[in-house]
Amino acid sequence: MSGNDSVCSSQLAPGSNVVSSPGGGGAVDTLNNEVVSGVVYQKLSFRTDDVNATPITVHGDDSTVEEDNLEYLDDGSFIFAGGGARRGLVRDKWGNIIRTCGIAGCQYKIGGTIDKKNHKAAKHRIDVVWFPCDQVGCDYKAKQADSIKRHKQMIHDIDVRWHHCDQDGCDYKAKKAENLKRHKADVHDIDVRWFPCDQDGCDYKAKQADHLKRHKADVHVIDVRWHRCDQEGCDFKAKQASSVKLHKQLIHEIDVTWHHCYQDGCDFKTKQASDLKKHKADVHDIDVRWHHCDQDGCNYKAKKTVNLKRHKADVHDIDVRWFPCDQDGCDYKTKQACNLKQHKRRKHS
């Protein structure tokens, strides 16, 4: 500091009750009025000719910290560049030591040794203590014991406290109270807060604010944030970023994750996981949910409900929609519109 700069040394760090002793031989405990020899303490010093100056933290003695020994950083923190144990300690603008992660490229700031250990384990997988699931055939593991407990509740139904719906005839149960509350609102209209659409002539109402917002954007084009395709010559735009992402995958093959069929001899691949699942069910009978005909003596089964419905209409005359011929004197009728069209072209054209 320059000779014209006076130093005020009566400022204590928040929560501190220790200041330097007059002779520099130790520290004075201001609560007990005793000299505490060898105690590391804090004294905040500042230049009185600059009211905005950053407080400087002094440790261990009553010596003046020279300005040249402090390296200030952009955020107001500083590094003591002098000798001794203080060298290289980074402090915030209030003088508190900032402990950093120490891993290259990581900006995480740490409050203590335990925080540092937990952070390095969680983010960098250093010195991790894994907690494996003890259920047969389960490879799940977690870094925290409470995560294992939650996993066993959600996946294996162990130590679950079930929340049951109390409405007559409803067997719904949930592992979380908020899920039960949502169920009762969605299914039974209990404790529902409705969000009505305020547009003229529109009777829409929703149980969630985001659903109303989506409705107004989709139907009334209100507060729409358009997401546009950035590919040259493409005018595609959508109301949701996910739709643009899907468009770019399907049309421009950008950021595509291919889903391959790994069945022997099959070269099928697709851009959507749902299409791969459908292919494996339709072609390889993998993970198929069969829909069986419930009529006596009938062994028909189908992979799609629409096919089962058509079968029951065609074979068992159940839930049939007849298509009669509208020509005078013609009693023809059929179960499919395409057959009626063909009949009229052949017989009445």
Q: What is the pTM assigned to this prediction?
A: 0.34
Are 17 and 59 a contacting pair, CB within 8 Å?
no
Binning pLDDT at 50, 70 and 90, where does residue 114 land? low
Are 248 and 255 a contacting pair, CB within 8 Å?
yes
Gap between the terminal Cα atoms of the chain: 108
Binning pLDDT at 50, 70 and 90, where does residue 163 land? very high
Enter the tokens of residue 198. 């305020």
266-311 confidence digits (pLDDT tens): 999 998 888 999 999 889 988 888 999 999 999 999 988 889 998 9
Q: Return the closest-CA partner of residue 318 out of 293, 339, 291, 299.
A: 293
- Confidence (pLDDT) at 13: 37
Binning pLDDT at 50, 70 and 90, where does residue 93 land? low
Phi, psi of 70 (to 5 degrees): -115, 125
Instruction: Burial-class residue 188 by CB neighbours within 10 Å (0-12, 13-18, 19+).
Output: middle
> What is d(CA 334, CA 271) in angstroms, rounded to the nearest whole number?
40
> What is d(CA 205, CA 219) in angstroms, rounded to the nearest whole number?
13
If you average pLDDT over every residue of the chain, what do you get? Answer: 75
Distance of CA 262 to the CA centre of its chain: 31
Q: Where are the domains of the chain?
A: 18-97, 322-349
Q: Return the closest-CA partner of residue 70 out of 45, 34, 100, 51.
A: 45
> What is d(CA 226, CA 205) in angstroms, rounded to the nearest whole number?
24
> What is d(CA 119, CA 127) in angstroms, rounded to the nearest whole number?
10
- Confidence (pLDDT) at 7: 34
> What is d(CA 119, CA 126) in angstroms, rounded to the nearest whole number?
9
